[in-house]
């Protein structure tokens, strides 16, 4: 009874304090409309609680009041303050990276703009796509296929390389004589198709370029093959000298017997099957044991095959329908040396040329090379890296064609550095060799020497220095893209103009 008497006033006092606090908070929140009403409702609900909940309200009311005051203060200040320290989303300091919507917008705009150009081309020229004309680009006479014969003859150089390596492995050939034989063989690989194409009028430019491409790839592969086997012989001789002076030779023999049996060691790799696997593998650098994928994924293989066929037809159609008319319309301004019209034609040609180049990159480096790798269970599928993010010209050339970059680094650049050549001179030598092969693949099939491709590649050196020195980040990436979009059409127009003037005279050029 006494407890009730003591608790009664206390209960009433605390209930009144709660109501007062709630009412005060509700009064502060009246300007917020609905929230003030909800607080008033809460106060009325507290007043209408029965005696059964009075004890609970007595003990919980201080905590509830403090929580309510904290929430009210947070909501109160949240209503008054709406700013915080932050960067704009398009600023690099914001850390924001989800630009998928902008990328989709760029793709949509690219498709719409190219669709307009394509429709304009159809309205002006009609349908120019002719699959039969593509066949005539490879051979003129259906009974004479000089380019295909050149590709078949390339097997002679493969067999000569294998025979030389086998003689070197057993000591029949000395290292000096074997090196001489390899040099003669590799030089013949470059000179034989060149002489054949220049002497035979039946070789078409496209067929000649295809044959020279095969011989160039074979040259790089066989060069790597002879280098790796030479390194293996050096390692073998070094081990033999070490073991002859060591007393732990039996232990070494036991460890070698414990190795995996499926690994090939020198000279067990000097087989016809091994060399032809390397000849068809999508790489230019030889290894005794390539990384192999566990199985052939049929679904992956079919997807790549479909892409190869689709993009091949798309490339042929775009070249015939889009590129050829633009090039033909550009001949007259070049003949008259009308610089304003030349610039206009150059910019008009830049769009289809770059679009075709991008499709060719995907068709060759992703679809075709992945198809061959999957078919041969070749495990290393890094045929390219993120060259589209290049902020320097050097980064682009190092990442857009990984097989060639690996070959240059392994068999040309690093050996030069070991001989004391500086890095700058080594990079210049790499660009020089690349310029030589670019000119080799263009001038010989066209049977004229204008050095446009050679000068274009050598111009990459001052451009790389300028971009690396003065431009970085987004500006450097933009400079790389501009060089790709504008540089190629200039070389194309130069070669086409000279080819028309040389073969068809002024009338054909006009």
Q: Which residues are catalytic?
A: 438
Q: How far apart are CA 277 and CA 322, in angstroms?
A: 39
Strand partners, 292: 378
DSSP output for 365-414: IIIIHHHHHHHTTB--------GGG-SSHHHHHHHS-HHHHHHHIIIIIH
Distance of CA 54 to the CA centre of its chain: 74
3-state secondary structure of 292: strand
Q: How far apart are CA 113 and CA 102, in angstroms?
A: 16
Q: How far apart are CA 482 and CA 476, in angstroms?
A: 10
Q: Is the peptide bond before 359 cis (omega within 30 degrees of 0)?
A: no
Cα Rg for the chain, rounded, in angstroms? 37
Instruction: Please report, for residues 170, 192, 406, the alpha-carbon distance to residue 434 in angstroms, rounded to integers and kept in the order given.
Output: 36, 20, 13
Q: How far apart are CA 269 and CA 290, in angstroms?
A: 12
Backbone φ, ψ for residue 23 (5° rounding): -65, -35
DSSP output for 31-90: GGTHHHHHHHHHHHHHHT--GGGHHHHHHHHHHHHHHHHHHHHHHHHHHH----S---TT
The DSSP secondary-structure symbol of 137 reads T
497 in Cβ contact with 506 (< 8 Å): no
Token representation of residue 176: 């000096």
3-state secondary structure of 227: helix
Q: How far apart are CA 282 and CA 272, in angstroms?
A: 18
Q: How many CA atoms lie within 13 A of 403 on its CB side?
A: 19
Q: How far apart are CA 268 and CA 278, in angstroms?
A: 15
Backbone φ, ψ for residue 473 (5° rounding): 65, -130
Token representation of residue 394: 């050097």
3-state secondary structure of 429: helix
Instruction: Please report, for residues 87, 88, 89, 93, 95, the alpha-carbon distance to residue 84 in angstroms, rounded to integers and kept in the order given.
Output: 10, 12, 14, 15, 16
């Amino acid at each position: 009874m006494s407890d009730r008497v003591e608790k009664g006033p206390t209960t009433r006092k605390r209930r009144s304090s709660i109501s007062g606090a709630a009412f005060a908070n509700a009064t502060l929140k009246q300007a917020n409309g609905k929230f003030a009403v909800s607080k008033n409702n809460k106060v009325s609900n507290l007043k209408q609680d029965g005696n059964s909940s009075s004890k609970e309200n007595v003990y919980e009311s201080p905590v509830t009041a403090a929580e309510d005051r904290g929430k009210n203060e947070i909501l109160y200040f949240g209503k008054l303050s709406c700013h915080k320290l932050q960067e704009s989303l398009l600023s690099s300091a914001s850390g924001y990276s989800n630009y998928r919507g902008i990328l989709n917008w760029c793709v949509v705009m690219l498709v719409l703009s190219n669709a307009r150009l394509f429709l304009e081309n159809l309205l002006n020229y009609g349908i120019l796509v002719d699959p039969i004309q593509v066949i005539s680009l490879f051979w003129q006479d259906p009974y004479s296929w000089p380019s295909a014969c050149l590709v078949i003859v390339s097997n002679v150089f493969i067999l000569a390389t294998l025979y030389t390596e086998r003689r070197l492995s057993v000591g029949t050939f000395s290292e000096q004589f074997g090196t001489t034989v390899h040099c003669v063989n590799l030089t013949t690989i470059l000179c034989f198709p060149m002489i054949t194409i220049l002497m035979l009028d039946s070789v078409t430019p496209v067929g000649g370029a295809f044959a020279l491409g095969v011989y160039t790839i074979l040259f790089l592969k066989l060069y790597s093959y002879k280098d790796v086997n030479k390194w293996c012989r050096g390692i073998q001789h070094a081990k033999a000298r070490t073991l002859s002076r060591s007393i732990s030779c039996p232990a070494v023999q036991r460890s070698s017997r414990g190795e995996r049996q499926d690994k090939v060691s020198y000279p067990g790799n000097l087989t016809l099957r091994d060399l032809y696997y390397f000849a068809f593998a999508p790489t230019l650098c030889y290894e005794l044991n390539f990384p192999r994928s566990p199985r052939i994924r049929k679904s992956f293989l079919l997807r790549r095959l479909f892409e190869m066929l689709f993009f091949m037809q798309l490339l042929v159609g775009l070249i015939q329908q889009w590129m050829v008319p633009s090039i033909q319309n550009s001949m007259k301004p070049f003949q008259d040396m009308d610089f304003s019209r030349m610039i206009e034609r150059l910019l008009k040609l830049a769009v289809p040329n770059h679009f075709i180049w991008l499709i060719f990159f995907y068709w060759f480096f992703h679809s075709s090379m992945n198809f061959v790798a999957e078919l041969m269970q070749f495990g290393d599928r890094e045929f390219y890296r993120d060259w589209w993010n290049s902020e320097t010209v050097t980064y682009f050339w190092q990442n857009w064609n990984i097989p060639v970059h690996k070959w240059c680094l392994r068999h040309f650049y690093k050996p030069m550095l070991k001989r004391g050549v500086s890095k700058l001179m080594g990079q210049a030598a790499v660009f020089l060799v690349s310029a030589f092969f670019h000119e080799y693949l263009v001038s010989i099939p066209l049977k004229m020497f204008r050095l446009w491709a050679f000068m274009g590649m050598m111009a990459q050196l001052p451009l790389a220095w300028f971009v690396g020195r003065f431009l970085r980040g987004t500006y450097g990436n933009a400079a790389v893209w501009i060089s790709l979009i504008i540089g190629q059409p200039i070389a194309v127009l130069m070669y086409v103009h000279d080819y028309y003037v040389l073969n068809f005279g002024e009338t054909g050029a006009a």
